[in-house]
Amino acid sequence: MASLELAPSGDSFVQWTPSTGTDNYELVNEDSGLPNDLDYVSITANNNKDRYDWSYNILLNAATINYVRIGMRAKRVGVAEFKPFYYDGTSYHYGTESTLTTSFADTYYTWVTNPDGGSAWIGINDIQTGRWGIQSVLPRGRGNIVYVSNLWLIINYTEAAGYGNDVNGVDSGDIGKIWGVATADISKVNGV
């Protein structure tokens, strides 16, 4: 099994307030291991959503997807929570409410199957076209705020048979040249 981390790549529908600029996704798309708590989206109203477009990786096209986990880095002021969702283009499917503290911390929700019918996830259909996001859960009253500084998806999958160390289905032992350079003369690819 392998895992991929995907980040928001655009705003699909946003109601939360950006700490700076106008593109909410740019404030929450850092790698999970490198959060920036100085930029974030925040909300003071109940039931408001931020729904994002997500990057996609073609490794998922023929893979068996074991689960999809959304990671969220957030904090609260007052009495405030939020919950993740998966949007299939028609309906919202919610995870459980987070339990936030007054300091930024990571929280997760995992979907083992597609909540739209409970069937297995399909990369090209569900992951590529689906939208994930967050919805505020705030009681009435002043001073209740949720801050989210980072969102990411972890896609756990089993690779499709036949691709392993191959390059686009071609056994890497059969590749003699890359861009006209003999593979025997290449010591590093992308610095590795």
- Flag the least confident range among 18-27, 31-40, 154-163: 154-163
| Cβ burial, residue 9 (10 Å; 0-12/13-18/19+) | middle
pLDDT higher than 90, residue 171: no
pLDDT value of residue 11: 95
Average pLDDT over residues 115-139: 86
pLDDT value of residue 38: 95
The mean predicted confidence, pLDDT, of the chain is 85
Residue 63 contacts residue 157 (beta carbons within 8 Å): yes
Residue 8 contacts residue 29 (beta carbons within 8 Å): yes
- Which secondary structure element, helix H or strand E, spans residue 107, and what is its range? strand 105-111
pLDDT higher than 80, residue 192: no
Exposure string (b/e) for 161-182, b if CB count within 10 Å is 16 or more? Answer: eeeeeeeeeeeeeeeeeeeeee
Q: How confident is the model at residue 169 (pLDDT cuts 50, 70, 90)?
A: low
pLDDT per position as a tens digit, 51-93? 999 888 888 888 899 999 999 999 999 999 999 999 988 999 9
CATH code given to domain 2-160: 2.60.120.260
CA separation for the pair 114, 190 (Å, rounded): 35
Specify the amino acid at residue 79.
V
pLDDT higher than 70, residue 127: yes
Q: How confident is the model at residue 126 (pLDDT cuts 50, 70, 90)?
A: confident
Q: How confident is the model at residue 163 (pLDDT cuts 50, 70, 90)?
A: very low
Q: Are strands 64-77 and 17-18 parallel, antiparallel or unpaired?
A: unpaired
Instruction: Provide the residue ranges of all domains of the chain, joining segments of one domain with +.
Output: 2-160, 162-192
- Give pTM, 2 decimals: 0.80
